[in-house]
Amino acid sequence: MNLKPFGQARAIGIDIGTSGARAVAVDRDGRPVAASESAYKSSSDTRTPAAWWTGVENCISGLSGKCALGGIEGLAVDGTSGTLVALDAGNAPLGAASLYNDSCDDPAIIAAIAAAAPATSPALGATTALGRAIQLSRRSGVHLIVHQADWIAMRLGHGEAISDENNALKTGYDLVTECWPDWLESAGMNRRLLPRVVRAGALIGSVGKAGRAVGLATDTRIHAGTTDGCASFLATGANQVGDAVTSLGSTLVVKIASDRPINAPQFGIYSHRVGNLWLAGGASNTGGAVIRSLFGDAQLDELTRKIDASHPTGLDYYPLLKPGERFPINDPHYAPRLEPRPADDAVFFKGVLEGIAAIEELGYRQLATLGAPQPRSVRTVGGGARNLPWREIRQRKLGVPFLDSFSEDAAAGAASLALRKRNLSL
């Protein structure tokens, strides 16, 4: 992110990601003025709430040396969609979190949800959050089941469990009636264990003891956050029907602004609401985590320099870390396809990038088939956005203009919610 000396910092967005935490302070117009990040020490920290909180503490401390925290008026948190944590009566985590890409391994729970849920519910399927929430609810001593962003906001505030409708969507929340529906009980979910839900950006409280301890002012307001995918969308400046945003982080997430919700759980497709627009899309298990597992980080720059994006390899890959896909194919047993492997690592790398681009194109095509608008433009966020040959491969595949983002940082999108000044038609 390019930071410039704009106005005084007025809001903070906090992004809890798969590799660490990041915070961005923005001015009154939403322009980033300072940023700080804190990487996890090990891969197990991804599912360790204490490590999330340590990351938040480090990030806010880092911001304090770059901007005045006393002028911060609002704060919001985004987290990985579908990551859940069970809490005891004192709001302390009970064991490790259930991650966004974990599966519910109890067929009886999956069957009960299928029997109770509406056919278009985003809570259907083996990898959605509801099945895992039911499993967590069976741990001894459980008092609450909350989402990742909820728990951080609780720690920063006064401990009240409040979620936003974006994070709650795949846990079964009904966006039409704006409540936890009755059928959740039939599926085996005790609704009393779930947080109260409000719209993204709604004011939910003020900073509490732990928030003050990390340097935030007492009068800093806390706003309901969102998922990492929605926060990334908000950060880009996409604001019209047909504007699409692809996130190339550890996973591939595609979203397009639509005038209507598109929900098709059989393809892993669901819609979040932000303001007056619907953000329709889905999250694949392909992405940067697959690339890192195949090549490591050290040689990526060298391999990228060897890519000639104008000549396709002809390889037909579906890059996954392990069997199981969520979108645009929703199949917990879907097998990775990474053969044949060329002797030249640069050719193999290029084929993997082409494979992920093909999954992206299939995702937008599937959305359009179900009634979403055709993409009129694409903005890209995440670490993969900086790979120029990959951008060329993707643009040739999608055939629409690729536009620069206002920001590529999900934390900046969360901050825009804290300002209550979203880059969407409200």
**Residue spans per domain, the chain:** 11-229+410-419, 238-403
Rounded to an integer, what distance in angstroms lies between the CA atom of residue 5 and that of residue 199?
Answer: 32
How much is the average pLDDT of 27-48? 94
| pLDDT interval class at 208 (50, 70, 90) | very high
Same fold yes or no, 11-229+410-419 and 238-403? yes
Report the mean per-residue pLDDT for the chain.
Answer: 93
Contact assessment for residue 78 and residue 410, using Cβ atoms and an 8 Å cutoff? yes
Q: Decide if pLDDT at 1 tops 70.
A: no
421 vs 254, higher pLDDT: 254
Output the six-digit token pair for 245. 């945003």
pTM score, whole prediction: 0.82
Can you tell me whether residue 227 is helix, strand or coil?
strand
pLDDT digits (tens, 9 = 90+) for 132-190: 999 999 999 999 999 999 999 999 999 999 999 999 999 999 999 999 999 999 999 99
Can you tell me whether residue 214 is helix, strand or coil?
coil
238-403 CATH, one of 3.30.360.10, 3.30.420.40, 3.30.2290.10, 3.40.50.10860: 3.30.420.40
Please report the pLDDT score of residue 239 as a whole number.
Answer: 85
11-229+410-419 CATH, one of 3.30.70.20, 3.40.50.720, 2.40.50.140, 3.30.420.40: 3.30.420.40
Output the six-digit token pair for 391. 């951008």
DSSP state of 251: S
Sheet with 203-206, edge to edge strand ranges:
32-39, 20-26, 11-16, 74-79, 221-227, 203-206
Q: Decide if pLDDT at 16 tops 60.
A: yes
